[in-house]
Amino acid sequence: GAVVSQHPSWVICKSGTSVKIECRSLDFQATTMFWYRQFPKQSLMLMATSNEGSKATYEQGVEKDKFLINHASLTLSTLTVTSAHPEDSSFYICSARGDRVYGEQYFGPGTRLTVT
């Protein structure tokens, strides 16, 4: 299957600082990438859909000024958590859409963010 990488795999930062998470599709071009957030023992919550070369589409309730998404190339999307607070601590997962007509998603390994 397709490979999607995420970096870093875990990060600890201080409250008020910004953190950037990278998502790369390693062996295919992904025009669309997704960013999810997952709380312990819960399902994935879609935060935004990232399209290469255009602005991301955010889900209702997700602050676009706080979670900045940039999809600058067909293999790279970044999520920047600005002015992080402890409540932003979570597991963030990106995915890239495959090329089948029904668009299966291949997921990165996730990034565990802890804000102290």
Neighbours of 6 (CB within 10 A): 19
Q: How far is the CB of 5 from other proteins (least distance, A)?
A: 11
Q: How far is the CB of 33 from other proteins (least distance, A)?
A: 12
Element (DSSP H or E) covering residue 90:
strand 90-97
For other proteins, the binding residues (CB under 8 A) are 1, 34, 38, 42-44, 46, 91, 93, 95, 100-110, 112
- Output 59 or 83, the one with its CB closest to other proteins: 59
Q: How far is the CB of 1 from other proteins (least distance, A)?
A: 6
> Cβ contacts of residue 3 below 8 Å, gap of 6+?
25, 26, 27, 106
